[in-house]
Chain A
Amino acid sequence: GAGVSQSPRYKVAKRGQDVALRCDPISGHVSLFWYQQALGQGPEFLTYFQNEAQLDKSGLPSDRFFAERPEGSVSTLKIQRTQQEDSAVYLCASSPARDPQETQYFGPGTRLLVL
């Protein structure tokens, strides 16, 4: 079956531009997560949705980062006025469990480069 998909796979943005990253979770998965992964590092938690409710956004690094999942399926991570330090791989994961501690299924990521 289809796994988690993300688009675009690569995005180059000029500093100050707004970007929108899309995540299509596995169908029927209740939970959806966004992570930021810097080069050579492990993923860092950004935010978590259970259906359409954003239950934890404590990992978002600044108010330039905004995520939504309006219908409890597809999610969009938006970064406003991008900065060079935003350059990273943004990973989306989904899970059939309501418990965020259970197994997560990851997409391939979107590699964002801010020039």
Chain B
Amino acid sequence: SQQGEEDPQALSIQEGENATMNCSYKTSINNLQWYRQNSGRGLVHLILIRSNEREKHSGRLRVTLDTSKKSSSLLITASRAADTASYFCATSGSRLTFGEGTQLTVNP
């Protein structure tokens, strides 16, 4: 079973626009992670935010975490065609539990 649920399932935007993906989860967590997966490849870790943090930045990425609402968002600013990929949130319990992902398409 998968705890995290990403929203939307698919997102298509133009290069230069911002992309926002959301993740909701059900049980308490120690941290929440976001991963990217290009088609046919493994997952690449993007960012980890701990339960006592509210916001974290890494380059063009901004992640927020609201533990009261059990939700997180990933914002990619000034998107590029190379950002086209699936994005997964993973919540920590005794192990990482991944959502079903958001498929992001950035059109040149």
Q: Which secondary structure dominates where chain A touches chain B?
A: loop
Contact check, A56 vs B95: say whether CB atoms are below 8 A apart.
yes
Contact check, B100 vs A104: say whether CB atoms are below 8 A apart.
no
* C-alpha gap A65/B61 in the complex (Å): 38
Number of interface residues of A (CB under 8 A): 24
Give per-residue flags for B37-62: 1 if the beta carbon is below 8 A from chain A beta carbons, else 0.
00011111100100000000000000
* C-alpha gap A4/B88 in the complex (Å): 19
Q: For chain A, residues 26 to 49, give those with C-beta under 8 angstroms from any C-beta of chain B.
A: 33, 35, 40-45, 48
Measured between beta carbons, the chain B residues less than 8 angstroms from A106 are 35, 42-45
Q: Does B98 contact A (CB under 8 A)?
A: yes
Measured between beta carbons, the chain B residues less than 8 angstroms from A93 are 42-43
- The total of Cβ contacts below 8 Å across the A-B interface reads 60
Contact check, A101 vs B96: say whether CB atoms are below 8 A apart.
yes
Using known A-B contacts A56-B94, A103-B33, determine if residue A42 contacts B45 with beta carbons closer than 8 Å.
no
Q: Does A25 contact B (CB under 8 A)?
A: no
Contact check, B92 vs A43: say whether CB atoms are below 8 A apart.
no
Contact check, A108 vs B33: say whether CB atoms are below 8 A apart.
no
* C-alpha gap A52/B45 in the complex (Å): 24
Q: Which of B41, B93, B94, B96 contacts A104 (CB 8 A)?
A: B96
Q: How close is B16's CB to chain A, nearest CB, in angstroms?
A: 28
* C-alpha gap A88/B35 in the complex (Å): 19
* C-alpha gap A107/B42 in the complex (Å): 5
Contact check, B43 vs A43: say whether CB atoms are below 8 A apart.
yes
Measured between beta carbons, the chain B residues less than 8 angstroms from A108 are 41-42
- 5 closest pairs, A vs B, by CB? A42-B98, A101-B92, A106-B42, A106-B43, A108-B42
Give the B-binding residues of A (Cβ under 8 A): 4, 33, 35, 40-45, 48, 56, 91, 93, 100-109, 111
Instruction: Report 12 cross-chain contacts, Cβ distance below 8 Å, ordered by A residue.
Output: A42-B4, A42-B99, A45-B97, A93-B43, A101-B30, A101-B31, A101-B92, A101-B95, A101-B96, A102-B31, A104-B96, A111-B40
Give the A-binding residues of B (Cβ under 8 A): 2, 4, 30-31, 33, 35, 40-45, 48, 88, 92-101
